[in-house]
Chain A
Amino acid sequence: MEFFERFAIPHPSAPIYASMVAIGLTVIAIVAGLTYFKKWGYLWREWLTTVDHKRIGIMYLISALLMLFRGGVDAIMMRSQTAIPENTLLDAQHYNEVFTTHGIVMIIFMAMPFIYALMNFVVPLQIGARDVAFPRLNALSFWLFFMGAMLFNISFVIGGSPDAGWTAYFPLAGNEFSTSVGTNYYALALQIAGLGTLMSGINFIVTILKMRAPGITLMKMPMFTWSALTANVIVVFAFPVLTVALIMMTMDRLFGTHFFATTNGGMDMLWANLFWVWGHPEVYILILPAFGVYSEVISTFARRNLYGYKSMVASMVGISFLSFLVWTHHFFTMGQGALTNSIFSVTTMAIAIPTGIKIFNWLFTMWKGKIEFTVPMLYAVGFIPIFTIGGVTGVMLAMASADYQYHNTMFLVAHFHYTIIPGVVFAMIAGLTYWWPKMFGFMLNERIGKWAFWFIAISFNVTFFPMFFTGLDGQARRMYTYSEATGFGPLNMLSFIGALGLAVGFALIAYNVYYSTRYASRNISADPWDARTLEWATQSPVPAYNFAITPQANSSEAFWDAKKKGHELFKGEVQKIHMPSNSGVPFIMSCIFFIWGFSFVFSLWIPAILATIGIFICMAQRSFERDPGYYISVKEIKETESKLRGA
């Protein structure tokens, strides 16, 4: 019995027990459903063992949407708790757990898989490649991310959630002040997911650098591919920093070292520095692909080529470089002195310049265009003004002297939601809607989509705009309650109402998926948006081999040129195509990683050692395995092509 006590929730409540039951029932329902419909084999063959970048993309997408739901529920709980003064819906401990998990889930387990969903699906198609450079590694990346996410999420019902904030500053996150295993979950789940992300980073850089179809020089790559390249370069350089920081955190918590614990020479500020050396580039990892999506969407629906291609590229490279030089602005108030603060103020404000160029280039892309307000375009057009507000408040926060007043307040919370939600969430919904027909062979309903957009755009402003004011009025962030005398009540109520509106908007998107799956016409062309880049040149849904004949490009919008200027995309004959074979090892290895992480969380050393051995066996298997792949014959390709074209 004593052994099992460690898995109990330290601070239980009725909703948590209810969720335990709900999670249990869902798992049983899924298992029963799969068994009843005899889908285990299908699931294993087509999904769990797949190495196809398109299917991996779709799995990323499903995970991201699930996590969006989880993070969204957290958000609603926070806004409900703070809607009125001295509310007792959640107590301090629950509120702390909720905002901590909201932050981590949204950044690491929602936004990251969302961008990797789009990158996985789109990048190989945009550059006319068969797959990514290392398809097996790609599957491993996904499953590591997925198992990291699952590990993090079970903390809620087994052992307790982390409660030290998503930044997990020491000494608060140390054993002395965070006694539950929650922060262990944080360290291990992020570590596992982070390993997956690092591998993805390497994979995509190699893919983009080496696997472009003939004619696609670096400066003729579509902008989304460029954004993926720069984001993945940041991944490769930023994530190792997180790896090291998390190792140190794990050692402090499990093995009694003194890296960050403030006794025997440990240094809490080192954690803050390392965290943000990773953390700041991380937000640009999220936002650059979003910029790429907007570039594609705006150019497509303004019916014009992207304005200022070269400066767009230059600004992204500039942003990715600068993103490593600004981390100190997350803690101007730590006492570095005026000189250091001034240096980082200036580097931070400098980021506004390349970002500004991009905004103006998008505006000029619409100039002399023929703008159609489709759902993706609405998100893009809504993004520009909202993100501008987020951006200029970012410049305001960059001024260290003034930041002394904004730091740790709702003003900051408003600012980063004003950048991340239009910057990432809008972009991901836009990209999802835009590439949906390519993924699934039918379109999402435009009418419901527009309703969802207006709900989200308006509610977003209702939710977050008031926070600029409560922040300036002295409301610190992460406060689970406040007294009526503070006067924060009405504006927080307004935020709560906005949050409900946002929930309605996202529910409409979910309904749209359901509705369109049931009713939308499957009889659409491969290019329903009249788009410009190569991914639209192949069939919808995309066959396993992507392109029957490797396309030849002449510009960054080769497909447009093929449609309008008679450029010949597909030269030559269909040849047999080499494909990588499926493998269950990435999935199995990631499951072992899950056990490994879980064992570490609870300091169960025997399973931890066994899991470590298991991981090495999987790696050995990979080393000794000969994987020749397989060929798709010319006949099969021709049959697939004519079937898709006929449909």
Chain B
Amino acid sequence: MKIDHSLPLEYGTDQNQLNILGFWIFLGAEIMLFGTLFASYFTLVDRTGSGPSGAEIFEITPVLIETIVLLTSSFVIGLGVHAMRIGRTKAMITFYAITLLLGLTFLGVEIYEFMHYVHIGAGLQVSAFTAILLTTLGTHGAHVTFGLVWGFFIILQVRKHGITPETANKSFIFSLYWHFLDVVWIFIFSFVYLKGMM
């Protein structure tokens, strides 16, 4: 593999460039996926049947914790990518590990939130609204879960092989994925929670 040193390592080989472009296109598909979920959410939001509405079940505290944790993790992974670019393997691994820990925290709070919903009678099968709410949140949560496993694998690989064009590429793509989840969350926060609570 030829390595072009004029570019950042993650872009350094032809295959790396293909991977990154491919991932951007994948994110385009993901935007459509979440876009469809949002469109369905807005269509079904008032169709609560005999179940509760958003205003009745949303609680600000866990949502704020989730938001802060996830935003911070997005910032930390940015630091991780910076560390990677200047070749500091240890710092990079540390930042990635912190990112994953924050992600784990987010997931924990979200699981608590879900259990709370089910507990107060807003389970998946209650109404069209609860179904789309939990599916939208759940799809995001599943993405985060997947990201945790994926990120963990990447840390293992960086530890083993150091920062190579291959691991740098994977780590960079993972960071794109993580930022994307953050952006999706911002939409969820604004249009599901804030709008629902107002």
Which residues from chain A sit less than 8 Å from chain B, CB to CB? 133-134, 198, 201-203, 205-206, 209-211, 236-241, 243-245, 247-248, 251, 255-259, 263-267, 270, 274, 277, 578, 616, 620, 623-624, 626
Contact = CB atoms under 8 A, between A and B. Distances in A.
Given A240-B29, A251-B124, 17 more contacts: A134-B19, A134-B22, A203-B22, A237-B28, A237-B32, A238-B32, A255-B125, A256-B124, A256-B125, A257-B131, A258-B128, A264-B49, A264-B50, A265-B129, A266-B49, A267-B44, A623-B154
A258 B25 contact: no
Nearest to B28: A236
B48 interface: yes
Contacts of B166: 626
Contacts, number: 115
B44 A265 contact: yes
A259 B51 contact: no
B187 interface: no
A265 B48 contact: yes
Contact of A240 (B36, B154, B157): B36
A523 to B, nearest CB: 38
B49 A263 contact: yes
Contact of B157 (A247, A256, A265, A623): A623
B17 interface: yes
A214 to B, nearest CB: 14
A251 B32 contact: no
Nearest to A203: B22
B21 interface: yes
B26 interface: yes
19 contacts: A133-B22, A201-B25, A206-B21, A240-B29, A240-B36, A241-B32, A241-B36, A244-B37, A258-B125, A264-B126, A264-B127, A265-B48, A267-B44, A274-B36, A277-B36, A623-B154, A623-B157, A624-B153, A624-B156
Contacts of B157: 623-624
Contacts of B30: 240
Contact of A259 (B17, B33, B36, B44): B44
B19, B26, B170: most-surrounded residue (chain A CB, <10 A): B26
B127 A265 contact: yes
B18 interface: yes
Interface residues of B, number: 41
Nearest to B40: A270
A444 B45 CA distance: 58
Interface string B41-63: 00110011111000000000000
A264 B128 CA distance: 6
Interface in B48-99: 48-51
Nearest to B125: A256
B22 A266 contact: no
A258 B40 contact: no
Nearest to A580: B15
Contacts of B150: 623
B135 A258 contact: no
B36 A270 contact: no
A171 to B, nearest CB: 13
B1, B29, B150: most-surrounded residue (chain A CB, <10 A): B29
A542 to B, nearest CB: 22
A265 B18 contact: no
A134, A202, A211, A265: most-surrounded residue (chain B CB, <10 A): A265
B96 to A, nearest CB: 14
B154 to A, nearest CB: 8
A578 B2 CA distance: 11
B134 to A, nearest CB: 9
Contact of A205 (B25, B153, B154): B25
Contact of A266 (B17, B128, B135): B128
Given A237-B29, A240-B32, A270-B44, A259 B132 contact: yes
A407 to B, nearest CB: 23
Nearest to B153: A623
Contact of A257 (B1, B29, B43, B124): B124
B7 interface: no
A264 B121 CA distance: 14
Contact of B25 (A202, A243, A248): A202
B148 to A, nearest CB: 12
Top 5 nearest A-B pairs by Cβ distance?
A: A265-B47, A264-B49, A265-B128, A265-B49, A240-B33
Nearest to B22: A206
Contacts of B127: 258, 264-265
Given A133-B18, A259-B132, A274 B40 contact: yes
A266 B124 CA distance: 12
Contacts of B19: 134
B189 to A, nearest CB: 20
A244 B41 CA distance: 12
B198 interface: no
B128 A259 contact: yes
A620 B153 contact: yes
A135 to B, nearest CB: 11
A561 to B, nearest CB: 27
Nearest to A629: B1
Contacts of A205: 25
A239 B36 CA distance: 11
A210 B22 CA distance: 10
Contacts of B29: 198, 201-202, 236-237, 239-240
A269 B73 CA distance: 39
Nearest to B47: A265
A258 B22 contact: no
A117 B119 CA distance: 51
Given A264-B51, A623-B153, A248 B40 contact: yes
B120 interface: no
Nearest to A245: B36
B84 to A, nearest CB: 17
A264 to B, nearest CB: 3
A247 B135 contact: yes
A258 B153 contact: no
Nearest to B134: A257
B33 A244 contact: yes
